[in-house]
Amino acid sequence: MSSASSRKDRLKRAESLIHPEIRNPFVHELNLTTTDKIRIALMSVTVAPIRLLLVLALILMDCLLANIAIAGLTQQQLESEPLKGWRRSLLNFAKYLYRGAFLASGYHWVKVKGQKLSVHEAPLLVVGPHSSFVDAILFGMYFDISVVSKHEFQSIPVLRTLVRVLQPVSVSRTDPNSRQSTVREIIKRSQPGSKWPQILIFPEGTCANRSCLISFKPGAFYPGLPVQPVALRYKTKPDTVVWTWKGPNVLTCVWLTFCNFNNEVEVEFLPVYKPNEEEKKDAKLFARNVRGVIAKALDLPVTDHTFEDCRLMMEASKLGLPKEAGIVEFQKIIVKLGLKLSDIKEQLPKYAAIANSKGYISIEDFAEYLKLPVSPALEEVFAMYDRDGSGKIDFREYVIGCCLVAKPAKTEETITMAFKLFGGEKGYITKDELVQILKNAFTMKDEGAEELFNQIDVNKTGQITYDQFKAYADEKPEYASLFNIYQELTNSETTKTDSNVNNSKDKTE
């Protein structure tokens, strides 16, 4: 076989592996036809503005009722016991305002299948898939529930009041201690005899595009109590509801939804799922099995994607590493290879040394370094990095991919050291310093590195101070992790060099 045909075959194989049957769940492409565009233009100057005003008016009325319902209560009181008496009665009335807002948005009819069970039969409602802020509004019509929501929502005006009145179990995505507190609160509220209403949770933890069900986080399943799975179906075409990491922004989604003649949604309450003894002991198994029930009802595939993959996906596209599907699939493929994250962490120094000494390697070398046979799973990983079909990959990319998955955390120490590493000992970093190190360490293109510098240099002074550097790393922790990776690789090389020098001295002496 000629080298040209071999190259072509490898490219085809790589293409088929990089773009799996399940499309990236964090990307939504909205393809509008000419008819859609004409409808949107007409609705934008007729019905949509009226819908917007009606929805705003109803939400403000609902906000007023919510403020009255929680008037005089401290945050501690809201977290300690559920609302009751006249306060609860106000919430029962408020749900009609929510239904009115939903009706005004074009959801003329909400089809409900099955029956919502009582809190005694199923303490938790587990809903999937989660694809939009509309999901929360939809279940706002059920005020006999409490919710698990992002802590960030409580800092948004208007929305803050609407969330507080639901007495949510708050969770912070960036604070690991918050997640432990969330699990404890879920367990406390869902115990038999508790006065709290049912807890509503979207276990995927982030919005995806409904092409599949991504990983269910185990928090809702630690109590080991019966749950009622709930399947959501949005049937409007084109799909203007999905709001995920790459696609139309929230305002676009809202307006295009207002511009639909009619929006269709279906809520299906599935039979209660009672965990067996094995599931009670293994929350992750419980979560996977409940996800399987919802997936079967919706006839959707499942994947092992998580919220954390979103950050990796966005970072990968900026750094020229394996693109969206590649880096998002990385952790799943590592599991497929039978590698553990703990093993990867231990092997990182050795991988770093190989990357610095070998550079581009063949699949045979790749298998040897990983101590694995050449298998379809290994070929899949290799093809993910062999984007030009040359039969060689840059092992540095694999090392950084491992680091991104194995070391997603950031710390103050990491950021401080990274700042010094980039030349910040003098109190600031210049554009040339940042561009050079990103180019050398991560093969980042000059334009990408310069764009990153400009994003951090908010004052446009041509220099980055520590405060600016830290603020950016706080907002996008993946950069702190990447900076730390470079530091470790650099330290590894320094240690190796020092060791060689000392050995030479010993031999001389």
pLDDT digits (tens, 9 = 90+) for 488-504: 444 544 454 455 445 54
E-assigned strand segments in 365-489: 393-394, 428-430, 463-465
Task: Residue 243: count other Cβ atoms within 10 Å of its Cβ.
Answer: 20
More confidently predicted of 179 and 332: 179
Count of residues in the chain: 509
Question: Residue 201 corresponds to which amino acid?
Answer: I
Question: Cβ distance 429 to 416 under 8 Å?
Answer: no
Question: Cβ distance 291 to 216 under 8 Å?
Answer: yes
Q: At 194, give phi and psi (nearest 5°).
A: -65, 145
Task: Residue 172: count other Cβ atoms within 10 Å of its Cβ.
Answer: 14
Tell me the C-alpha distance between 209 and 231, whole Å: 14
pLDDT the model gives residue 96: 84
- For the stretch 75-109, pLDDT in tens is 888 888 888 889 888 887 888 888 888 899 999 88
- For the stretch 239-250, pLDDT in tens is 999 988 778 988
pLDDT the model gives residue 487: 46
pLDDT the model gives residue 342: 61
Instruction: State mean pLDDT over 377-382.
Output: 77
pLDDT the model gives residue 240: 93
Q: Which residues, listed in sequence order, are joined to residue 230 by a DSSP beta bridge?
A: 127, 269
Question: Cβ distance 204 to 302 under 8 Å?
Answer: no
Tell me the C-alpha distance between 98 and 103, whole Å: 9
Residue 258's nearest CA partner among 28, 42, 44, 36 is 44
Confidence of residue 467 (pLDDT cuts 50, 70, 90): confident
pLDDT the model gives residue 501: 43
**Residue 394, helix vs strand vs coil:** strand
Instruction: State mean pLDDT over 362-380.
Output: 81
Burial 484-495 (b: 16+ CB within 10 A, else e): bbbbebeebeee
DSSP 156-223: STTHHHHHHTT--EEE-SS-HHHHHHHHHHHHHHTSTT--S-EEEE-TT-S---SSSB-PPPGGGGTT
Confidence of residue 3 (pLDDT cuts 50, 70, 90): very low
- For the stretch 163-175, pLDDT in tens is 788 888 877 655 5
**pLDDT surpassing 70 at residue 315:** no
Classify strands 227-234 and 124-128 as parallel, antiparallel or unpaired: parallel
User: pTM (2 decimals)?
Assistant: 0.61
Tokens of 130: 């989660």
Confidence of residue 424 (pLDDT cuts 50, 70, 90): low
More confidently predicted of 200 and 474: 200
Q: What percent of the chain has pLDDT over 70?
A: 63
Question: Cβ distance 453 to 431 under 8 Å?
Answer: yes
Question: Cβ distance 257 to 263 under 8 Å?
Answer: yes
Give all domains of the chain, ordered by start, each with its CATH number: 3-20+307-406 (no CATH), 34-298 (no CATH), 412-501 (1.10.238.10)
Please give, one letter per residue, the 3-state secondary structure of 20-60.
CCCCCCCECCCCCCHHHHHHHHHHHCCHHHHHHHHHHHHHH
Question: Residue 373 corresponds to which amino acid?
Answer: P
Q: What percent of the chain has pLDDT over 90?
A: 20
**pLDDT surpassing 70 at residue 270:** yes
Gyration radius of the chain over CA positions: 26
**Mean pLDDT score across all residues of the chain:** 75
Question: Residue 191 corresponds to which amino acid?
Answer: Q
Cβ-based burial of 205 (10 A; exposed 0-12, middle 13-18, buried ≥19): buried
Q: Which residue in this structure is represented by tokens 């929510």?
A: 98
Question: Residue 458 corresponds to which amino acid?
Answer: V
